[in-house]
Amino acid sequence: MREIDVSRITEAVKRMCISSNYHLPADIRQAIGTALAREDGSIARGILEQLVENEKMASEREIPICQDTGMACVFLEVGQDVHFTGGNLYDAVHEGVRLGYTEGYLRKSVERDPVRRGNTGDNTPAMITTDIVPGDRLKITVAPKGFGSENMGALKMLKPSAGLEGIKDFILETVEQAGPNPCPPIVVGVGIGGNFDHVALLAKKALLRPVTTRHPDPFYAALEEELLDRINALGIGPQGFGGRTTALGVNIETLPTHIAGMPCAVNISCHVTRHETEVI
């Protein structure tokens, strides 16, 4: 049994909330660079160049890349041999978000109640996902998620008879319908399998994987590449003004599913797809 004082978690979450909002992760920077080299639309090239300039300015001056500094999505992989001391685990995470968003001059974008509204004033609560894994470590990933792109996601309970074509069509339709709204170039997180609730989480988790990597299963790696090519043939382009670069990557995650179903969820993210990880 290894003891971890929860104050270390607060500190790590706070640091990553700030850092991830100022500095674009390496995989997205690399993907935008690659896209710029391949882009054949003239307006599109200009937009991509400005995105690079924006990201550099944010990093140098330590200001948010985008004013929507997101809901703080926090993923915890907790080793089963860890014992937390000094307070409650989730309280420590929320406190990290509160401190990070306040001290980092990040926008407070969370409403207390979904219907009656009312800003909580400190961007809490965090959206926390916990997995218990073997070992005695804690892996924390902070992924602030903006809602311009979040609003364009979709979930469909496809039936097995829809087949692989049904999955492809649903993903392409979702991206097509989103058009310029999610701030393309986008990252497309796809979940396939599981059930209603788990498939949505798979799609979100798919966005945590660097866009420069492919699924370890060659079947899904090929599907990721095919979908990326087909999305980038739609012509939507950066900001929706026309161009090749509609998406920077398509990441797929899967789970076994029921004999009667083939759930599919698409979680769209913008060109400011932020994620940072620390292991304690």
Positions touching other proteins (CB under 8 A) are: 40-41, 43-44, 47, 50-51, 53-55, 57-58, 61, 63-69, 105-109, 117, 119, 121, 148, 151, 179-181, 183, 235-237, 239-244, 270-272
> Closest CB to other proteins among 55 and 95?
55
> Closest CB to other proteins among 205 and 271?
271
> Closest CB to other proteins among 61 and 83?
61
Q: Give 186's DSSP letter.
A: E
Name the minimum Å distance from CB 50 to other proteins.
6
DSSP three-state, residue 84: strand
Name the minimum Å distance from CB 76 to other proteins.
26
Name the minimum Å distance from CB 191 to other proteins.
23
> Closest CB to other proteins among 63 and 255?
63
> Closest CB to other proteins among 189 and 243?
243
Name the minimum Å distance from CB 83 to other proteins.
37
242-264 in b/e form (b: 16+ CB < 10 A) is: ebbbbbbbbbbbbeebeeebbbb
Q: How far is CA 275 from the centre of its chain?
A: 7
Can you tell me which residue has the tokens 């492809």?
168
Name the minimum Å distance from CB 186 to other proteins.
10
Give the bridge partners for 130, in sequence order. 76
> Closest CB to other proteins among 20 and 201?
20
Name the minimum Å distance from CB 222 to other proteins.
24
